[in-house]
């Protein structure tokens, strides 16, 4: 973490100068926040010229360049990326989460929630914060055509796997056969485009399809 004397350096990337200046004015009210850079480019090939702790990227619409910008920014391990957007599109939100953003908030959020989100992702890089007024958590579980990314049963299997249960233990817990558990896991791997249980758990956690794993996994039953 590059905080200096407990201060958090924030860079703002937005194509709207009034919104950018207003947001800067709100953030600098916090005694430990420093807004170190403003940029007019938004998602247009933007790169911070300074070394901030947090980049707030304002996406006014579903800009196809936004995910590319996020991937480049997230290539800096110590940098946190927060997206503010008026676009409540579940597919766009999932794409940004897959690209590596630590927070996705709608532009109508209150200042207190934005400040809390910044502090949360600074305290824990693995933390993911999502807030939308129109989308529900269930919307994130659905594809662009409204189909479920994971079925309810697949979600149950993956959550138990994330808790450290073996296939046998999951089968006992859900009153299904071990073969059915394996079939659900195979479907999960295909849907999430991963090759292993660990990768499936990590990706599902990043997308907020399941809760973050416990630090002390439950003892496996064989």
Could you give the 3-state DSSP secondary structure of residue 134?
coil
The pLDDT value given to residue 4: 54
Is position 96 within any domain?
A: yes
- The answer to whether the beta carbons of residues 147 and 154 sit under 8 Å apart is no
Statement: residue 56 has pLDDT above 70: yes
Domains in the chain, number: 2
Name the H helices within 124-196: 137-140, 152-162, 167-174, 178-192
pLDDT, residue 47, reads 57
- Distance (Å, rounded) from C-alpha 118 to C-alpha 116? 5
Query: Residue 222: its pLDDT value, please?
Result: 35
Using pLDDT thresholds of 50, 70 and 90, give the confidence band for residue 178. Answer: very high
* Residue 220 within a domain: no
Q: Domain of 14? A: 8-140
CATH of the domain at 202: 1.10.10.10
Q: Is-contact 14 40, C-beta < 8 A?
A: yes
Same structural domain for residues 109 and 36?
A: yes
**What pLDDT is stored for residue 198 in this prediction?**
87
Q: Please report the pLDDT score of residue 77 as a whole number.
A: 84
The answer to the question of residue 218 being in a domain is: no
The last residue of a domain, from among 91, 118, 140: 140
CB 203 within 8 A of CB 194: yes
Q: What's the mean pLDDT when you consider all of the chain?
A: 80
Q: For 10, how many CA atoms within 13 A lie in the half-sphere containing its CB?
A: 29
Residues 135 and 160 reside in one and the same domain:
no
CATH number at residue 128: 3.40.50.2300
Instruction: Report the alpha-carbon distance of residue 121 to residue 43 in Å, rounded.
Output: 21
φ and ψ of 202, to 5 deg: -65, -45
| pLDDT tens-digit readout, 93-130 | 878 887 888 888 888 888 898 998 899 889 877 666 77
Unique residue bearing structure tokens 């450290």: 164
pLDDT at 214: 47
Q: Write the pLDDT tens digit of every residue in 197-215.
A: 888 888 887 776 776 654 4
């Amino acid at each position: 973490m590059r905080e200096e004397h407990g201060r958090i350096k924030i860079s703002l990337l937005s194509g709207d100068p009034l919104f950018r200046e207003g947001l800067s004015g709100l953030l600098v009210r916090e005694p430990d926040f420093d807004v170190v850079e403003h940029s007019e480019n938004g998602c247009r090939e933007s790169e911070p010229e300074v070394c901030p702790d947090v980049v707030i990227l304002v996406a006014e619409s579903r800009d196809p360049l936004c995910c590319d910008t996020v991937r480049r920014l997230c290539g800096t391990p110590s940098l946190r990326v927060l997206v503010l957007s008026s676009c409540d599109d579940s597919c766009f939100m999932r794409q940004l989460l897959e690209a590596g953003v630590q927070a996705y908030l709608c532009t109508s959020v209150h200042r207190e929630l934005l400040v809390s989100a910044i502090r949360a992702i600074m305290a824990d890089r693995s933390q993911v914060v999502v807030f939308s007024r129109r989308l529900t958590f269930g919307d994130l579980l659905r594809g662009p055509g409204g189909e479920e990314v994971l079925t309810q049963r697949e979600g149950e299997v993956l959550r138990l796997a994330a808790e450290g249960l073996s296939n046998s233990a999951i089968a006992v817990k859900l009153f299904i056969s071990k073969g059915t558990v394996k079939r659900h896991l195979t479907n999960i791997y295909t849907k999430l485009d991963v090759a292993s249980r660990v990768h499936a758990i990590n990706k599902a956690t990043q997308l907020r399809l399941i809760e973050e794993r416990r630090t002390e996994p439950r003892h496996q039953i064989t």
